[in-house]
Amino acid sequence: MYFPPEPADTDADASSPPFTFTLAVKDNIATRSPDDSTSTTCGSRILQNYKSPFEATIVTQLRRRGARVVGKTNLDEFGMGSHSLFSHFGGTYERPHDPSSGSAGSAGAAVSVGGSSGGSSVAVRLGDVDVALGTDTGGSVRLPAAYGGVVGFKPSYGMLSRFGVVPYANSLDTVGLLAPTVAPIRRLIVGEDPTSKRSEEQDQTAGLWRESDVDRDPTSLTLASRLRIAGQRMGYNGETFAPDLRGMTFGIPLEYNIEELDPRIRTAWAAAAERLRSLGATIAAVSLPSTRHALSAYYVIAPAEAASNLARYDGVRYGQIGDLGAEVETASEAEAKAEPETKPETTPPTGEADGEQDEAVLYERVRGAGLGREVQRRILLGNYVLSSSARDNYFVQAQRVRRVIVRDFDAVFRLPNPLRDHKTVGEHQGVYTDDARGHIDLSDLPEGLPLADKRGPAQVDFLLCPTAPTPAPRVADVEAAPSAVDAYINDVFTVPASLAGLPAISIPMPAADTGTATEAEAFCPGFQLIGQFFDDARLLQVAETVMTAAFEQPEDMAALEKHRKTGVST
């Protein structure tokens, strides 16, 4: 993490924010400093000296709410990775603490901090900042949060502005927040007083969901749309519910109980469900049958969009040739430096062909020298699935899978999806409804529909599932994997919510044996709570309730602190 100077106060007459907090910003989010010394590198060589001429909207919004930006954090290059190892400036990882020596363990025992927002997670985990900004395309906020024992929140797609965020995959990218607990995230998203009316001036107690400057922002929902949807959602207008979760139903998606799930996480999952039940919630098993296709669809759609977005890094629009050295020397420059006797005797009949050839060579060398191997791998994959011979078989099919995944979620949630026609809810399961709330009308169930007791799909408020199938792996195991794509399996539980654009939050939960865990064994796995689109306010309130109850015992809180501090970031 490096530390840019704070910009001078440009509005000295403005009232002070009701609270202040320190903020770290992931280095693919644009920031500015008074002396123009702050870079936005995306962890890439091709942007190592890039200075943004403007600041990202989300950073400006948080500054108005009292944020003091103290640093920018490392990441996988352009956000492409699950372990924060693919940065041009070096990977971010943890070396487990050795209790006997009081120092970090050997480099060979280094453990992944997750990615791609690994630097932001570490900054929160070690107490360097109160809140950190990350980006979540397929789990890049939630996975590092789960590995680090902190909270990682991915809001509904379009909730937070992406203006000033360097794009990876536009239809999936979401700005996310990390913090030690849910409270600061909820305060920033929902606001101090949801019942207060906005004034013409900036209301510094209002939540980010009520920002008015998004009306001219194509990367987020307009304020009118937000207010319309919020009218159908609890939590945005001052409504509260019992802190013991009575009357709520939490779904356990059966498809997430995969064979590769670590037994300790499976045990903790069952314990978490029982904890919800003890708070008054009902637990129901639900099915999301298209989940098994989500990871494959994601790794078609995301690389395809990345290939398009990263075409701009060509040494002309972005990427300074001088920063990359002799590796990008053009053919003409090389020829000019050649000895006279080595020059060709003939020249092309026109300068146009020579110029086109030179331009192609320039692009190839700039991108080859300036982009890392993982980025190049995904660009190649994206260009392939968009090619005329593969587009219909891969990209089009992946988009169809994505639509089915959205319908799977809509079929199990109690709340309707405000972005869809409610008449089609459950259509893919043979169930049709004209109910304005999207509920299933039992009279419309076909006789032959194979549903137990003809009850229709379960109607739940939220889903509970693990964030990752395993604890954080050793870096050596990641690097020794037979194929680089083996690491993609870490996103298997996070990409479904990303494809559907749903809000999801990863919170740490105690393992079953935390009371007897030693410092070296401390383990608090991360679990996701997933809600319906734009149900962010209620999701955050539930997550805060659950996490508070989970760590009310001193031994559980002590285990969480051990889990967060078992390593030293490098």
**Any catalytic annotation for residue 154?**
no
Q: Is the separation of the CB atoms in 99 and 130 below 8 Å?
A: no
Instruction: Please confirm, yes or no, whether 337 is among the known catalytic residues.
Output: no
Q: Which of 39, 87, 116, 156 is catalytic?
A: 116
**Contact (CB, 8 A) for 132 and 177:** yes
Measured CA angle at 148 (ends 143, 152), to 5 deg: 50
Residues in contact with 209: Cβ distance below 8 Å, sequence separation at least 6, in sequence order: 159, 189, 190, 191, 226, 230, 236, 536, 537
Residue 140 is among the residues annotated as catalytic for this protein? yes
Which residue has 């002799």 as its token pair? Answer: 326
Output b/e per residue, 211-220; b: 16+ Cβ within 10 A. Answer: beebeeeebb
Burial class for 238, CB neighbours closer than 10 Å (0-12, 13-18, 19+): exposed
Annotated active-site residue in 26, 72, 154, 562 = 26
Catalytic-labelled residue, pool 44, 140, 156, 506: 140
Peptide bond into 101 cis (omega under 30): no
Distance separating alpha carbons of residues 364 and 502, to the nearest angstrom: 38
Take residue 362 and report the two structure tokens written for it: 């320039």
SS3 content of the chain, % helix, strand, coil (to 5): 40, 15, 45
Which DSSP symbol is given to 485? G
CB 481: neighbour CB atoms within 10 A?
12
Measured distance CA(437)–CA(416) in Å, rounded: 6
CA angle, residues 380, 56, 297, in degrees to nearest 5: 30
Neighbour-count burial for 124-154, b at 16+ CB within 10 Å, e otherwise: bbbebbbbbbbbbbbbbbbbbbbbbbbbbbb
Could you list the active site residues?
26, 116, 140
